[in-house]
């Protein structure tokens, strides 16, 4: 099975979700996301780092230098209070949006027939 691309606009939310568990460095974020998605999504490393920097600029993440398990220096990212609030809000919005799109795609009714419009 081929991997699905990450939809535009969802990577930031997925990064925030990964970091809701614990501070992580970039490789740990990618590993967490791949595991959470059962390796079915295609995560681009450069896009991930752009997302992390973008989220840090917005004040949704904070970063500090640390040492990995392999004794290497790495930037560890963690959610800020604003990041947690943003994650809750955007998760609610995403779940509502995804449910609406799913309903539209899977409903057997002809929405146009109910209003007399063309389909």
35-69 pLDDT tens trace? 999 999 998 889 999 999 999 999 999 999 999 98
For a pLDDT cut of 90, what percent of the chain falls above it? 76
Domain-located, residue 114: no
**Joined tokens for residue 3:** 């991997």
**Joined tokens for residue 18:** 């990964």
Domain-located, residue 47: yes
Number of domains in the chain: 1
CB 57 within 8 A of CB 85: no
For β-strands 41-42 and 4-5, DSSP reports them as parallel
What pTM was computed for the model?
0.85
Domain-located, residue 108: no
Domain-located, residue 106: no
14-32 pLDDT tens trace? 999 999 999 999 999 999 9
- The domain that holds 86 is classified in CATH as 1.10.10.10
Cα dist from 1 to 5, 39, 40, 117, whole Å? 13, 10, 8, 39
Q: Please check the confidence at residue 112 and state whether its pLDDT lies above 70.
A: no
Question: Range of 33's domain?
Answer: 6-101
């Amino acid at each position: 099975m081929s991997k699905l691309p990450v939809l535009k606009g969802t990577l930031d939310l997925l990064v925030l979700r990964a970091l809701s568990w614990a501070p992580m460095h970039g490789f740990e974020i990618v590993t967490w996301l791949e595991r959470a998605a059962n390796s079915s999504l295609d995560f681009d490393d450069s896009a991930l780092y752009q997302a992390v920097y973008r989220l840090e600029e917005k004040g949704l993440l904070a970063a500090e230098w640390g040492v990995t398990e392999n004794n290497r220096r790495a930037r560890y990212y963690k959610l800020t209070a604003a990041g947690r609030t943003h994650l809750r809000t955007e998760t609610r919005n995403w779940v509502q949006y995804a449910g609406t799109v799913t309903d539209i795609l899977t409903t057997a009714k002809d929405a146009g027939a109910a209003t007399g419009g063309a389909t």
